[in-house]
Amino acid sequence: MELYATISLNTGRLSAIAEQLCQHASGDVETDVQACRADSMEVMRDITRLVALIALAGTTPPRKPH
């Protein structure tokens, strides 16, 4: 469940970053680019962990149901 929560959180973060950058590009809103960069770095760290977990899952045999 923690993995699902992390993916869900990062989906929300990416959506917010994309919305801020689109508004910034259209000139509608002043954007804190440093905050967007920091949020992006947190998302990238989580994605890196997720990729490692997927790689680990690919190298271990699936568990048999009890």
The domain segmentation of the chain, as residue ranges, is 2-58
**pLDDT value at position 15?**
92
**pLDDT value at position 63?**
72
Tens digits of per-residue pLDDT, 5-33?
888 888 899 999 999 888 888 887 788 88
Using an 8 Å Cβ cutoff, are 16 and 59 in contact? no
- 30 phi/psi in degrees, rounded to 5: -75, 130
**pLDDT value at position 10?**
86
Average pLDDT of every residue of the chain: 84
Sign of CA dihedral 31, 32, 33, 37: negative
**Residue 51 pLDDT grade (very low, low, confident, very high; cuts 50, 70, 90):** confident
Burial of 26 from C-beta contacts in 10 A (0-12 / 13-18 / 19+) = exposed
